[in-house]
């Protein structure tokens, strides 16, 4: 670990923890998690005997939960949150965290205890094959704790910090760990808040907003300009307001998006399978005026997000935009070192070099990359051949102007430089985490050993020769929706060299001078020259011109 941009809330937590021991039933001045709107349960979980504790481990709490919620574990274990595996019926690819290689930490396999710290379970220490863990290993509290006291260690395969706590232990958000009070957490349970989902999803890739760009701790309590839906001052949405769940399976997917929702709104309770803008705002969201009509015409070809999320990584939390693994491993006096040459708008210094991870670049208020997108993302999987002579796309966006299902979408385009097998032309797995091993890169700073150990672990062929290749990875941008009056103006695209300059297959008035415009200007110039020439000849003529037709 870790670049450690922490959320404001977490900074407060850390400060308090450094200041004094936290006792049971005391949040120690830790800010309470924002309340979930519409929460009016008929059960007060603090009155259940079975939740009084004491609990010695996470699974003990789960056992208590399951004594009433008899099907909950089975439901969770049928979700991607549990399996980290996803069969895309459209492309035939098997995706999911445990199967793909990404442009950030690379791969889960062989780095388990660190990566699976964010798994919605306890003790997933080997991701090879299917996740066969049983019901009591489901982590209910990660999503349902409403005390703010529960968390998970960053390297214990999903377990929370308990006694005895090792010195320097960190949580999955990068904060200094505290001993969680499992009984307090168990009695606080409720619907997930932004902070619950965020404790994993805001910190993907090893730090706050590193991965997605539009998911950061800024969304725990955002200003309306950062996210008009999630701001407590406006919509106060939780993640689940849009990502509706049914039997612990959530709407919305980054692998298989609904890029062009023609269904629009439904009657109350009708649609529980969508997390699109249209499912609330309809497919004709703009007003009944000429400008509204023109804007509604755009909906056919332009995703809502394209205009309504002018920039991402808002609210003072930067996102990682470039990660070059090839420079990792440099040491000073035999010791790893770090540089911090990026200053975030809150004054925080972010890592731009780590011996463990290589070079980084960061961005705040980033203008997205735009592309035609039909919702399908195809990955370059570890057994797919790559062409190392160019930039390799870790994931490819499917879609084109000719396809009615495609629209112009905004993306975070992550630039990477990742290890690959120079003989087989495939991405390689790397083992980076493993304090006790003789092969993990973060301990030994030796790529040869790291790659060999990881490839042996997953049983994939490896020639023994590697190098690094430039990569792109695309992340659809759909959060951090701005208030309507901060949406893009027409001129943002309808101008020369504007935002959609790289997009083809759609006529964007004003973006270029069309052929007829060039011909027309020539015609106009010829007309002007002709009358000027005629006028000059008249002046040179003997008289001042004759009479005219009147």
Partner 1 sequence: MAERCVKVYSRFNRLWHWSQVASIFLLLFSGARIMGLHSVLPFGLAVMVHSFGALALLLLWAFATFWLFTTGAWKQYLPTQAGLWQVMRFYAWGVFRGEPHPYRKVLWRKHNPLQAMAYLALKIVLFPGIWITGLIYLTHGFWQTLDKGGFWIEAVANLHILAAFAIASFVIVHVYLLTIGGFRAHVRPMVTGFDMIDLTAEQEAYLQENEPDRLREPRHAAHPAE
From the list 27-35, 181-189, 439-447, 536-544, the region that binds partner 1 by CB under 8 A is 536-544
Q: Which is nearer to partner 1, 42 or 497 (CB)?
A: 497
Least distance CB 478 / partner 1 (angstroms): 24
Q: Is 506 in the site for partner 1 (CB under 8 A)?
A: yes
Instruction: Decide the pairing of beta strands 86-87 and 94-95.
Output: antiparallel
Q: Which is nearer to partner 1, 312 or 373 (CB)?
A: 373
Least distance CB 283 / partner 1 (angstroms): 12
DSSP string, 63-106: HHHHTT-TTHHHHHTTSHHHH--EE-TTT--EESTTT---SSS-
Q: Which is nearer to partner 1, 267 or 496 (CB)?
A: 496
Angle at 345 between CA 344 and CA 346, to 5 degrees: 90
Q: Is 515 in the site for partner 1 (CB under 8 A)?
A: yes
Q: Which is nearer to partner 1, 41 or 547 (CB)?
A: 547
Least distance CB 2 / partner 1 (angstroms): 46
Q: Is 501 in the site for partner 1 (CB under 8 A)?
A: no
Tell me which of 401, 438, 484, 501 binds partner 1, using CB under 8 A: 401
Least distance CB 409 / partner 1 (angstroms): 17
From the list 87-95, 122-130, 330-338, 525-533, the region that binds partner 1 by CB under 8 A is 525-533
DSSP string, 425-472: TEE-------TT-SS-HHHH--HHHHHHHHHHHHT----S-EEEEEEE
Q: How many CA atoms lie within 13 A of 441 on its CB side?
A: 27
Q: Which residues of 143-181 are buried (b: 16+ CB within 10 A; e: fewer)?
A: bbbbbbbbbbbbbbbbbbbbeeeeeeebbbbbbbbbbbb
Tell me which of 47, 267, 332, 548 binds partner 1, using CB under 8 A: 548
Least distance CB 96 / partner 1 (angstroms): 32
Site residues (CB under 8 A) for partner 1, limited to 285-344? 290-291, 293-294, 296-297, 300-301
Q: Which is nearer to partner 1, 32 or 519 (CB)?
A: 519
Tell me which of 40, 164, 268, 546 binds partner 1, using CB under 8 A: 546
DSSP E strands: which ranges in 344-401?
A: 349-350, 353-354, 358-363, 369-373, 377-379, 392-393, 395-397
Tell me which of 32, 467, 491, 501 binds partner 1, using CB under 8 A: 491
DSSP conformational letter for 509: B
All residues at 6 or more sequence positions from 400 whose CB lies less than 8 Å from its CB, including other chains: 372, 374, 406, 505
**In this structure, what token pair is assigned to residue 196?**
């619950």
Least distance CB 518 / partner 1 (angstroms): 10
**In this structure, what token pair is assigned to residue 204?**
């993907």
Least distance CB 278 / partner 1 (angstroms): 16
Phi, psi angle pair for 281, to nearest 5°: -90, -5
Tell me which of 43, 56, 484, 513 binds partner 1, using CB under 8 A: 513
Q: Is 163 in the site for partner 1 (CB under 8 A)?
A: no
DSSP string, 264-305: ---STTT--S---SHHHH-S--S-SSHHHHHHHHHHTTB-HH
Other residues' Cβ atoms within 10 Å of the Cβ of residue 491:
10
From the list 41-49, 164-172, 446-454, 483-491, the region that binds partner 1 by CB under 8 A is 483-491
Least distance CB 528 / partner 1 (angstroms): 6
Tell me which of 390, 402, 436, 459 binds partner 1, using CB under 8 A: 402
Q: Which is nearer to partner 1, 435 or 520 (CB)?
A: 520
Q: How many helices (H) and strands (E) does the chain have?
A: 15, 19
All residues at 6 or more sequence positions from 395 whose CB lies less than 8 Å from its CB, including other chains: 100, 377, 378, 379, 380, 473, 474
Peptide bond into 329 cis (omega under 30): no
Q: Which is nearer to partner 1, 380 or 511 (CB)?
A: 511
Least distance CB 444 / partner 1 (angstroms): 54
Least distance CB 391 / partner 1 (angstroms): 26
Q: Which is nearer to partner 1, 333 or 402 (CB)?
A: 402
Q: Is 484 in the site for partner 1 (CB under 8 A)?
A: no
Query: Quick one: which of 302, 304, 475, 471 has its CA closest to 377?
Result: 475
Q: How many CA atoms lie within 13 A of 204 on its CB side?
A: 19
Phi, psi angle pair for 115, to nearest 5°: -70, -40
Q: Which is nearer to partner 1, 43 or 530 (CB)?
A: 530
Least distance CB 276 / partner 1 (angstroms): 19
Query: Quick one: which of 464, 474, 461, 456 has its CA closest to 109?
Result: 456
Q: Is 533 in the site for partner 1 (CB under 8 A)?
A: no
**What does the binding site for partner 1 look like in residue numbers (CB under 8 A)?**
290-291, 293-294, 296-297, 300-301, 401-404, 489-491, 494-496, 505-507, 509-517, 519-521, 523-524, 526-528, 530-531, 534-535, 537-538, 540-550
């Amino acid at each position: 670990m870790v670049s450690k941009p922490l959320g404001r809330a977490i900074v407060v937590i850390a400060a308090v923890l450094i200041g004094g021991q936290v006792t049971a039933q005391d949040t120690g001045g830790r800010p309470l998690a924002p309340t979930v709107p519409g929460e009016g349960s008929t059960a007060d979980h603090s009155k259940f005997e079975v939740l009084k504790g004491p609990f010695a481990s996470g699974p003990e709490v789960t056992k208590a939960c399951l004594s009433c919620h008899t099907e909950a574990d089975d439901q969770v274990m049928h979700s991607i949150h549990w399996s980290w595996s996803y069969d895309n019926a459209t492309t035939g690819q098997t995706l999911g965290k445990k199967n793909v290689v990404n442009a950030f930490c690379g791969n889960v396999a062989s780095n388990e205890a660190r990566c699976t710290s964010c798994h919605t379970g306890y003790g997933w220490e080997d991701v090879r094959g299917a996740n066969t863990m049983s019901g009591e290993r489901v982590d209910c509290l990660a999503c349902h704790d409403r005390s703010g006291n529960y968390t998970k260690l960053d390297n214990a395969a999903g377990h929370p910090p308990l006694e005895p706590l090792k010195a320097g232990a960190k949580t999955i958000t990068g904060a200094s760990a505290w001993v969680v009070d499992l009984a307090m957490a168990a009695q606080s349970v409720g619907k997930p808040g932004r902070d619950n989902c965020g404790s994993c999803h805001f910190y993907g890739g090893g730090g706050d907003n590193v991965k997605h760009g539009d998911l950061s701790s800024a969304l725990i309590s955002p200003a309306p300009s950062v996210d008009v839906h999630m701001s407590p001052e406006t919509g106060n949405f939780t993640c689940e307001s849009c990502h509706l769940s049914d039997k612990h399976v959530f709407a919305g997917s980054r692998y298989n998006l609904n890029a062009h929702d023609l269904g629009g709104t439904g009657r109350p309770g009708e649609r529980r399978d969508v997390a699109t803008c249209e499912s609330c705002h309809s497919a004709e969201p703009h007003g009944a005026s000429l400008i509204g009509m023109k804007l509604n015409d755009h909906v056919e070809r332009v995703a809502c997000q394209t205009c309504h999320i002018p920039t991402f990584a808002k609210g003072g939390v930067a996102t990682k935009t470039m990660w070059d693994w090839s420079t990792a491993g440099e040491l000073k006096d035999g010791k790893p070192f770090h540089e911090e040459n990026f200053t975030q708008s809150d004054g925080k210094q972010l890592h731009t070099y780590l011996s463990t991870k290589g070079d980084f670049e960061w961005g705040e208020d980033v203008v997205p990359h735009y592309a035609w997108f039909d919702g399908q993302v195809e990955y370059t999987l570890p057994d797919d051949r790559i062409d190392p002579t160019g930039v390799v796309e870790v994931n490819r966006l499917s879609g084109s102007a000719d396809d009615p299902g495609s629209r112009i979408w905004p993306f975070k385009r992550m630039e990477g430089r990742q290890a690959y097998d120079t003989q087989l032309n495939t991405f390689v797995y790397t083992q980076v985490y493993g304090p006790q091993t003789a092969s993990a890169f973060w301990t030994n700073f030796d790529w040869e050993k790291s790659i060999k150990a990881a490839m042996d672990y997953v049983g994939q062929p490896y020639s023994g020769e590697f190098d690094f290749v430039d990569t792109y990875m695309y992340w659809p941008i759909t959060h951090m929706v701005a208030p309507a009056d901060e949406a893009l103006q027409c001129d943002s695209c309808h101008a020369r060299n504007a935002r959609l300059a790289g997009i083809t297959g759609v006529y964007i008035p004003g973006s270029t001078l069309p052929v007829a415009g060039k011909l027309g200007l020539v015609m106009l110039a010829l007309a002007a020259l002709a009358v000027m020439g005629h006028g000059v000849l008249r002046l040179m003529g003997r008289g001042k011109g004759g009479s005219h037709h009147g």
